[in-house]
Structure 1
Amino acid sequence: MKQKQYTSMEDIRLDLLTLNLQRKIQMEELKLTHHQFKEDLSPMNWIGSLLKGVKKYGALLLLKKLIK
């Protein structure tokens, strides 16, 4: 990965703010996916939704680990 060259403290501050907001958005998406996963495990939706929920939850966890 190519390192970004900063020219001022303002550039650094804006980049950190952007990254922080992206992290917060991803955490909210992860929470939403977790909630949806719990609903998918209800007896009526168990078989069909199980595979879809695991796929979403795993992808977001992988994304979270890549960002850290």
Structure 2
Amino acid sequence: MKEYKNKDEINYDLKRLSLERQIAWEEMKGLKEDFKESIQPYNWFGPILSSVKQYGIFYFIRLLFSKKK
């Protein structure tokens, strides 16, 4: 436990801790907004579309090789 020599040290630490708490709160708000934005349906189209393209290419290649028999 920290020992304080005067009232100014106590006030300094209280002010610093208050500012740290406010910074942490604002960071959490930012993370919440980032999370909300990342789960929006329009953000899913890119990965889904690339997966569909990749599956389509594999399917097309498989069709090409199966017809050569």
Fold-level match, TM-score > 0.5?
A: yes
Q: TM-score range by the shorter chain?
A: 0.5 to 0.7
The gaps in structure 1 that reach 5 residues or longer are 49-68
Q: What's the C-alpha RMSD, in Å, of the aligned pairs?
A: 1.5
C-alpha displacement of 1:45: 3.4
1:7-41 C-alpha deviation (Å, 9 max, x unpaired): 00000000000000000000000000000000000
CA distance in 2, matches of 1:11, 1:45: 49
Task: Give the fraction of aligned pairs with identical amino acids, expressed as a percent.
Answer: 40
Q: Which has the higher contact order (CA 8 A, sep 6+)?
A: 1
Of residues 20, 33, 36, the one that matches 1:35 is 33
Larger Rg: 2
Q: Secondary structure at the match of 1:14?
A: helix
Question: What TM-score does the superposition give when structure 2 sets the normalisation length?
Answer: 0.60
The gaps in structure 2 that reach 5 residues or longer are 48-69
Name the structure where helix makes up a greater proportion of residues: 2
Q: How many pairs align?
A: 45
